[in-house]
């Protein structure tokens, strides 16, 4: 995979079996630059990053690699992943590059690429880069080296873009909002977006030091947000992850709303405004209560595999606009080409402001089904898919649950493990059914 590389310490990591060193990163950028030059005489690449300390090293290596292939570089500095996607499109750049490991700890890092349209790149492009990476570098001569410059107002341009997705006739005046940027890429941007729309903003998780990204703050640690909302008697709390493409929301009572509920609110807002919503894409993990609530309003939900890439592929296939995951990675393709935590938050706040209702009131008819998740480690050589006993037990559980629950059994993508999930209106039933299936697998 070229799209994302994760390391174990931000300097030595793995891309398959390839370490993420400064040398490798330079060669990667050089290979990408050569691929770009096959289609464009003088390409320009934008590079943004989050707040990890290793970002400085990787940024310099990428810049040098692109310049050595004759590609111009524009440095954006710390900027959310969706901000890079937006500016790549707005600046008519050839490619956007993000240095970030998203919601992972500081000692991981990664590289992600966006097309000129601010979208994910096709597999054919990845294969072309991989093939070029295996070739010897072809350094351009001094006269043809790429140039670099910095876009000083990158953050301001992205702030204005985010604000443009919020209705012009509405404001956030009168609202006290806690904003948690996970000490990540949106640490300066997120508070300004909500403040400039009229809210009183209390910022937490907005003091990065290169080592504290996602540490105790942000969408993966919402406890800090819940505590701050209660402490400051705020109306709502917004938590992003390290690269600000993921969202968690908390109301004045400290209730946490996950991505499934936020997705429903985005659908609700469009339906209230008389807009057609032909369908929504969730994942295999999307809560059944949300699926039933959408169906009751005439909106079908299609389940994709877990992962924002699969959600996007399903949306594009169906020509739909709204989709997302319970983790808070949400897509509103009528607003942006990629998942954006800030824009998703504004969509939710817009729904509340426009209706005059709290988030809890808007979701009064949607009560999430309790879910029981059990991981079962497989024995060497165990073929759980071929088990007649498991198939029989699963059918029995599904018959027992009927329309009041569902079963999901899937293999781990990284370990010899099977993950069993059962959700039901009755939490005791969900737990008992999950244990029955787990016992069948483990023998």
Query: Which letter, b or e, does each residue of 135-154 get, where b requires 16 or more Cβ atoms within 10 Å of its Cβ?
Result: eeeeebeeeebbebeebeeb
Q: Which entry of 54, 68, 94, 102 is annotated as an active-site residue?
A: 102
Residue 167 tokens read as 């209705």
Is 102 an annotated catalytic residue?
yes
Please choose, from the candidates 314, 443, 419, the residue with its C-alpha nearest in 3D space to the C-alpha of residue 371: 419
Q: Which residues contact 124 (CB under 8 A, 6 or more apart)?
A: none
Long-range contacts of 17-20 (CB under 8 A, 24+ apart): 20/58, 20/109
Residue 193 tokens read as 């977006």
State the residue for tokens 């429903």.
264
Burial class (CB in 10 A: 0-12, 13-18, 19+), 368: middle
Q: Describe the crossing of helices 189-196 and 341-355 by its angle, rounded to 10 degrees.
A: 20
DSSP state, 304?
A: E
Burial class (CB in 10 A: 0-12, 13-18, 19+), 179: buried
Q: d(Cα 126, Cα 119) in Å, to the nearest integer?
A: 14
Please choose, from the candidates 219, 166, 171, the residue with its C-alpha nearest in 3D space to the C-alpha of residue 199: 171
Q: Which residues are catalytic?
A: 102
């Amino acid at each position: 995979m070229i799209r994302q590389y994760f390391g174990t310490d931000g300097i030595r990591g793995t891309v398959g079996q390839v370490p993420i060193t400064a040398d490798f990163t330079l060669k990667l950028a050089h290979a990408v630059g050569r691929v770009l030059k096959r289609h464009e005489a003088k390409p320009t690449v934008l590079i943004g990053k989050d707040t990890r300390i290793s970002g400085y090293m990787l940024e310099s290596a990428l810049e040098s690699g692109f310049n050595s292939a004759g590609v111009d570089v524009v440095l954006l500095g710390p900027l959310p992943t969706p901000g890079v996607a937006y500016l790549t499109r707005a600046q008519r750049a050839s490619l956007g590059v993000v240095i970030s490991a998203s919601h992972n700890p500081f000692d991981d890092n990664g590289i992600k690429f966006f097309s000129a349209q601010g979208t994910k790149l096709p597999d054919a492009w990845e294969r072309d880069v991989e093939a070029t990476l295996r070739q010897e570098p072809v350094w351009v001569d001094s006269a043809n080296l790429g140039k670099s410059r910095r876009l000083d107002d990158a953050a301001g341009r992205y702030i204005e873009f985010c604000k443009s997705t919020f209705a012009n006739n509405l404001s956030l005046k009168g609202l006290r909002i806690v904003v948690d940027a996970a000490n990540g890429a949106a640490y300066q941007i997120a508070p300004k977006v909500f403040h400039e729309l009229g809210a009183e903003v209390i910022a937490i998780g907005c003091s990065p030091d290169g080592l504290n990204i996602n540490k105790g703050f942000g969408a993966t640690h919402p406890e800090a947000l819940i505590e701050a909302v209660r402490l400051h008697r705020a109306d709502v709390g917004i938590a992003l992850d390290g690269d600000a493409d993921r969202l968690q929301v908390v109301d004045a009572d400290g209730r946490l709303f996950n991505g499934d509920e936020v997705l429903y609110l985005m659908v609700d807002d469009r339906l209230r405004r008389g807009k057609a919503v032909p369908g929504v894409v969730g994942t295999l993990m999307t809560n059944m209560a949300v699926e039933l609530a959408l169906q009751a309003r005439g909106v079908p939900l299609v389940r994709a595999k877990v992962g924002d890439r699969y959600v996007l592929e399903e949306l594009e296939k169906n020509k739909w606009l709204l989709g997302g995951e319970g983790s808070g990675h949400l897509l509103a393709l009528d607003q942006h080409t990629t998942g954006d935590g800030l824009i998703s938050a504004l969509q939710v706040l817009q729904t509340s402001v426009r209706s005059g209702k709290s988030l809890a009131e808007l979701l009064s008819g949607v009560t999430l089904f309790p879910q029981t998740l059990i991981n079962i480690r497989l024995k060497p050589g165990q073929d759980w898919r071929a088990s007649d006993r498991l198939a029989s037990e699963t059918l029995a559980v599904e018959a027992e649950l009927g329309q009041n629950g569902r079963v999901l059994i899937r293999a781990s993508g990284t370990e010899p493990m099977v993950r069993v999930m059962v959700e039901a209106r009755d939490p005791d039933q969900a737990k008992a059914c999950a244990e029955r299936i787990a016992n069948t697998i483990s023998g």
